[in-house]
Amino acid sequence: MNLQEIKPYTECNVLIVDDEPISRMLLESILEPVFRCTTAESGHEALLYCAENAPDLVLLDMNMPDINGLEVCKTLKQSPVTSQIPVIFVTSTLDVESENACWEVGASDFVMKPVNASTLTHRIKTHIQNKLRTEFLEKMTFHDQLTGLYNRTYLTKEIPLLIRQVARDQSNIGAIMIDIDYFKLFNDNYGHLEGDLCLQKVAKIISDTVKRPKDAVIRFGGEEFLVLLPYIDYQGTKIVAQQLVEAVTNASIPHGKGIEGRVSISAGFAVWKAADVVDDDYSALVEDADISLFEAKERGRNQAKG
């Protein structure tokens, strides 16, 4: 398995975090010929960037005025969205106590200032290789082979971790259950190979419409999909559900026995406090959304209800 064929180093994003402009420029000049580099000048800026963009590796200064490097690393490792990002500390002094502190907050490695360009580059390559290998194995385990979306294994193994995180933050989880309208008739009319292509097209439309990094799109089974939206309210979930219905309709995938001669979807949605979902292990939230999906189908399909 050649991981560089999956994602070359030139496409791997290294976030350089240092409050000193000269240090940022130096590190960037060393790494930019090999990796795609982004810089942040504070711990706060780094955390915001990671939550939205999930870089492949973080090169982190230990001593910063707003939030020190140890706290930044600890925060990254506590979130399921950023916990797998390798963190390498850059430090000018490292006693035994500081070294132990690096490992305790989940660091992957550390390098000493002044940095050796070759050593730094090779260490980053090693940790990115490990990350890519882990992601590849997870893709094989947690993704549906036909559509590339998350599968039911991901739902049962990983989603509870995300829900617990949202519950700790005292926020909500939105769920949208989706069903392709008259899909059996589509298969009967066009054949199962075309049916598979239709599933792939609809999956891509859903995935492209649901854009936040924390959101999860899951192939629930057959022609059913589940979208889970952390940190959202009722109105936000309703808007996403309506956008999904409109996006599939606007794609104008031909369906001779569908609504207005094209493929459409029905969607049902529900929003719960994440703390209530933790107690019930998400099944009641999904069932709530499924009831609304049934209502959408009963009312004529090609619509969202919640």
Q: Which residues are catalytic?
A: 223
DSSP letters, the chain, are --HHHHS-GGG-EEEEE-S-HHHHHHHHHHHTTTSEEEEESSHHHHHHHHHHH--SEEEEES--SSS-HHHHHHHHHHSTTTTTS-EEEEES---HHHHHHHHHTT--EEEESSPPHHHHHHHHHHHHHHHHHHHHHHHHHHB-TTT-SB-HHHHHHTHHHHHHHHHHTT-EEEEEEEEETTHHHHHHHH-HHHHHHHHHHHHHHHHHH---TT-EEEEEETTEEEEEEES--HHHHHHHHHHHHHHHHHHT-EEEEEETTE--EEEEEEEEEHHHHHHHTTHHHHHHHHHHHHHHHHTTSSSEE-
CB 51 within 8 A of CB 79: yes
Structure tokens of 152?
Answer: 């039911």
Give the strand pairing for 13-17 and 224-230: unpaired
If we measure between CA atoms, which residue out of 131, 79, 70 comes closest to residue 104? Answer: 70
Q: Among all chains, which residue has been given the structure tokens 């002094």?
A: 93
